[in-house]
Amino acid sequence: MSKKSHHPNFDQTIEILRAHSFSVVPFAGVAGEVPAGKDGLLVSKDGVGAVLVAVADTADLAVAPGALVRGEVARLLDRGYQKFIKTSQFELPASATQLQKIHQFSEELKQLTGSISLYNESLGTTSDQYEYDRLKGREAALPAPARPWDLSGGH
């Protein structure tokens, strides 16, 4: 007999998180992060936070886990040689302790909410954005060469 996965509803998820020492407060964040018409809740623990919203009576991430800096959930930026904590106002190098806390928070949040835990995310902290200095500026390269097999010239 196969096991059925248990996906708690939004209210049950919030109670489970509170029972596991997570702080849950209403989120009055930056416009555009929380979907229109949805009330977000900032879930935090040990200086790391994420924003959850109710979607079809289940908890869904509106803002991915990140370090809490002045009440804002910071994004994790990877520049190839180092990871950075990026907020709307400034950017700071991420410490190993911060990365470990973000990873631990993410894994615990996934386990308690019944979300899928992916193998590559379980190995370590993944970034929200990747900017490699050697590749910066290559986005606006030369236009694609004409392909002679395309008959767009009216032949």
For 24, 47, 52, the CA distances from 17, given in Å and listed in that order, are 8, 15, 11
Q: Where are the domains of the chain?
A: 10-133
Q: Please, which contacts does 9-13 make with residues 24 or more away whose CB atoms are closer than 8 Å? A: 9/57, 9/58, 10/52, 10/54, 10/57, 10/58, 10/59, 13/52, 13/58, 13/59, 13/112, 13/113, 13/114
Report the pLDDT value the prediction gives residue 44, as an integer from 0 to 100.
92
110-123 pLDDT, tens digit per residue, is 888 877 777 767 76
14-60 pLDDT, tens digit per residue, is 899 999 999 999 887 544 555 555 678 899 999 999 998 888 777 77
For 5, 39, 52, 125, 143, the CA distances from 65, given in Å and listed in that order, are 23, 17, 10, 10, 38
Give mean pLDDT, residues 69-90: 87
Is pLDDT of 75 > 60? yes
Q: Is the pTM of this model over 0.75?
A: no
State the Cα–Cα distance between residues 32 and 98, nearest whole angstrom: 26
State the Cα–Cα distance between residues 121 and 93, nearest whole angstrom: 21
Q: Which amino acid is at 116?
A: I
